[in-house]
Amino acid sequence: MSQGEGWLQISTSGFASFNKARPPGHLVKELVQNSFDAIGDEKGTVALDYRMEKGRFHVYCRDTGGGLEDLDAMRVVYLTHKTDSHLKRGRFGRGFKEILSVANEALVGSGSKGLHFKTEDGQQITSKMQFEKPVNGASVTMIFDWPEETAQEFDSYFAAFLIPPNINFLLNGNRVHSKAARYSVAASLPTEIYNAESSSWKKPRRKTMIELMETTSDEEPFIYEMGIPVANAEWSVPFHANIQQRVPMNPNRDALASGYAKRIHTSCLPTILPDLDAEETTADWVGVAGAKCEADVQQDILHKAFGENAVRSVPSMGKRDYDHDAERTGAHILKTSQMSGGFRDMAKEHLPSAKQCVDLVQEELRQEVTKQSFGLDDSNKSDTRLQWIEHRGGRDHVNACLTFAVWFCQQLVDSTNAPAMPVSGALALGSEATLLGVEIGTFSAHWSDSNLLTLALDEDCFWQAPLGAQALAVLVHEAAHSRNMHHGRGFTSEVERLAGVAAQAMFINADYIRKHWPQLVRSA
C-alpha cells in the first residue's frame, strides 16, 4: 500500500470551513447525483445509508453505474476526465471534493481499486488500496462529526427526491418510488456547460422537458434538476417542476440564477392555467409570467381572473363618467393603476376601456333601435307592429301619447342656453317581453344624438299613464342625454335640473296640455 501527502492538492482548511456552512443534506446529495449520473439512462441501483456508529455519523453511497475511471482525479479540485454535458447533474466532480473536505475519514472504491482518506498523527494522508473482491460500480463511505438528529433531516430530504424511473433508489434499505408526471412541458431554457476551448462556463439555451409532478399536502413546490431539489418554485400551484437538464445556479448550487424561476413560470403557465381558479389566477407570479406569454394565453388569464366583462377604468373626463356608464352595462371595472405590472400590461393590451365598452354598447343599441323603430305614417308596417298599436289603444291614442312626449321633451331641451335640434319621435318594440309569440328586444326608450326620441310600444307607462310620474321620469332621463350622452355626475346634475324644468313646464302649460291632449288628461 503506497501513501501520498494530503487528501486534496489544495489547502483544505479554507475549503473545509467554506463547506461546513452548507447543510449536510446538500453535501451528501452530491454523492447521490454523481451516482445518478454514473447510471445515466441505463437501469441501475443507487443505495444511500446513514447512521450513527461509535459516536460518529457514517454515510454509505453505492451505485451500479460505470465506475470511476481515475481515482487519482478524486483528489484534485476542478479536475475531471469526463466531457462536460448539460445533461449531467455534476460539475467537474466538485461535489465529492466539497463533502470530502468536511469529512473525518472516507473510503472510495471502484472495481478492484480504492482510495482511503484518513488522518494520522494530525496529518491528512491518502492511501491507495487493492480490493480482493471488486466493487461493482462505485462505493463511497464517509465519516462525519454530525449529530444523531442529522438522520431525521436526511429521511425527509432524500425521500423528496424525484427518482428517474430507470433507477432503483434505496434509502436505508427502503425504496423511494418514482412519481409519474402530471404534465410534460417542452421548453427552451438556459443551462450550464463548460467550454473547454475558452475555459469558461457558458449558459446557452437548450430545448428540454419540464416534468410537473403533483405535490403532497405537506410539500412546498420546488424546482428540481433531473430529480434533485434545487430551490423553491416561487409559485402558488401544487406542482414540482423537474427540469430535465442542468439548471443554472450560484457557485454553491443552492440558489437559482436570477430570473430562471420566472422562465419556468412562463413556460408552464399555458399548461397549468386550466387548473387555476379565479383567485389563484390573480397571483403576482401569474401576472409576471403571463406578460411574456402568447396573446391568446394572456386573454385567457384576464378572462379567468377578472371575468368575461372586464374593462379598464377611465378617469372621469370632465362631466363624463365612463366607469359608471360601463357598470350599468354589467361590465367589471378594473383600475389598472392598482394592478401589478404584468396584469397592468396585459389589461392595456387586451381589455377595452370603459369608454370603448360604453361606445360599443351605445352603438349596438343605436343599431337595434334604428332597426326596430318606425313612425305611425310608415307604410311598411308588419303585422306585429299593427297588433301592438291596437293593443295600446289604437292609432289615435298612440299618436297622442307620442306627440305629447315629443312636446314635453322639447320644453326640456329648449331650457338649455345652447341651440338644439328639434325633438322628433318614433316607435319601436323594445322591452324583454313577448306578444302573440313574438320575442321583443331589450330597450324601453332611447335618445339619439340627433334628438330622436324612440318609445317602446311594450313599455306600459307611456301608453297607460303618459302623464304619470313614471313616464315623465323616463322622459326627463332621456332628455338629459341631449346635453350628455353618458351617465355620470354631469348627467345626474342635468337630470336634477330638468326635473325642475319639467315641473314648471307642466304647471305653466296646464291649459295647453288640456286643450291638445284632453284624452290623456282624463286618463291621468
DSSP helix/strand/coil, 252: coil
In angstroms, rounded to a whole number, what is the distance separating the alpha carbons of residues 354 and 286?
A: 24
* Residue position matching grid coordinates 408526471: 181
CATH assignment, 3-176: 3.30.565.10
CA 430/CA 445 separation, integer angstroms: 8
Phi-psi label, residue 396: left if phi above 0, alpha if psi -120 to 50, beta otherwise: alpha
Which residue is listed with cell 442542468?
246
Residue ranges per domain, the chain? Answer: 3-176, 183-275, 281-367, 373-523
- In a 3-state reduction of DSSP, which class is residue 127? strand
Per-residue pLDDT of the chain (524 residues; tens, 9 = 90+): 556 666 655 556 666 676 787 899 999 999 999 999 999 999 999 999 999 999 999 999 999 998 887 777 776 665 555 578 899 998 766 778 889 989 999 999 999 899 999 988 888 898 998 988 888 999 999 999 999 999 999 999 999 999 999 999 999 999 999 999 999 999 999 999 987 777 788 899 999 999 999 999 889 999 999 999 999 999 999 999 999 999 998 877 778 989 999 999 999 999 999 999 999 999 999 999 999 999 999 999 999 999 999 999 877 655 557 787 788 778 899 998 889 889 999 999 999 988 888 778 777 767 777 777 777 777 566 677 888 888 899 999 999 999 999 999 999 999 877 666 799 998 987 654 444 444 444 678 888 888 899 998 888 999 999 999 999 999 999 998 887 766 666 778 889 999 999 999 999 999 999 999 998 887 66
Task: Compute the Cα dihedral for 221, 188, 251, 37 and give only its sign.
Answer: positive
Q: What is the DSSP letter of 320?
A: B
d(CA 318, CA 126): 85
Of 318, 321, 238, the closest CA to residue 277 belongs to 238
CA distance 184 to 241: 9
Give the C-alpha distances (Å, rounded to integers) separating 202 from 85, 111, 245, 248, 249. 11, 34, 14, 10, 12
Q: SS3 for 131?
A: strand
